[in-house]
Chains A and B, each alone.
Chain A
């Protein structure tokens, strides 16, 4: 079974500053994928970034980067140069390799507020 823990219910950041959203995970699967999604108030889940358990380098996608520390089982999302439009809920999720399922296990989420 997989478990995702996001310990920050809410985070505040000033526009143009960087922010780190924490995510720790637990799994017994030998291979797994870690995902971050953004959910604006409209409700749609927007895929941001992916990190595979065997990837040697941290994933980056534009202003998003993932600080992956496998030994510590953490996969923190770093947003650089925050924008007002980044205000949203952010969810960390994972999928294991066993069972051949698409099932994603989500954390409780972090509400990010970007202040002008």
Chain B
């Protein structure tokens, strides 16, 4: 079965430090990968998607099909990056349903 794994429940870093939130998936085909973020008291929202190859709020993520990973990175963390981050996978086909990982809480300390 398709699965998304985020091995860290909590990642705590100091402001200005690099950040890497890990995401691994199990699927042999060509999925679409996403990172969704939920800031405190806000709804879940898209941060970035693999297909766009864009950088949002300084975050980037590269799809590594060999390692089946889609890690989220930022060179210099800011306090406002503190949030819950979910990696999600969407399979080819017409549904578009998302399979989410368990989430990682990022805590950026001053």
Q: Do A and B come from one complex?
A: no
**Hey, which bits of chain A sit against chain B, CB under 8 A?**
none
